[in-house]
Amino acid sequence: SSFVKVGVHRATSIKVAEMAKIIENAQRDVNIAFMNEISMICKQLNIQTNDVLEAAGTKWNFLKFHPGLVGGHCIGVDPYYLISRANEYGIDSTLIRSARKINEDMVNFVSINILKELVNIEKRLQDIKVCILGITFKENVPDTRNSKAIQIIKELQTYKINVDIIDPYCEKLKIEGLNKINTETNSVTYDSVIILTPHDIFKSSNYKIFINKAKIIIDLSGKISSKSKFTL
């Protein structure tokens, strides 16, 4: 309370405080999982998820969550503590466990849909040059812990696809198994630019010029490019 100016809520016990923190993250995990499942359904129905959410959001009590990759050190981890503790008391946390599975499986869903777009390039997969924008677990932070973007990159590399990476937030970090991080946006033209983490800096004119030179643009969030071939 000496430095948190907005005020402090005093929980009735440390157990209550810890449980509250755990369910905050588990609740968000469940809500994002629902959006991810809706995104998968919309993909099969050939409907743009963002259009659906925009329409649904006009209802006053609609909860505005969006599909996306769930990583990091909180939301992608804390639900497992709750699941484990519940199991000790014979409770099967079906909903929380299902949400975790959906969000973990998004790596496979995204990777498959990226590959479906890349095969439209008239080259062998191993000859395709791909540039990934953003590898942190969420936008505008340098944290790569439990990053699903990194998992997707490694999945693409199993197909011998040439992958370069640009992420101004972690250009000095060394991540085992990944190609060197490339920060030169004007010197190379790529067959595909894939925006996995939508840092605000990618909206700048320099990056837009770079992105638009690619034959195929994939922007998972739809926040950076309107020309994306695949968006969650």
- Residues annotated as catalytic are 74
C-alpha span between 217 and 232 (Å, rounded): 13
C-alpha span between 154 and 81 (Å, rounded): 27
In angstroms, how far is the first alpha carbon of the chain from the final one?
40
C-alpha span between 101 and 33 (Å, rounded): 9
C-alpha span between 133 and 142 (Å, rounded): 13
| Contact of 149 with 70, CB cutoff 8 Å | no
What strands lie across the sheet with 162-166, from one edge to the other? 162-166, 129-133, 192-195, 216-219
| Contact of 231 with 114, CB cutoff 8 Å | no
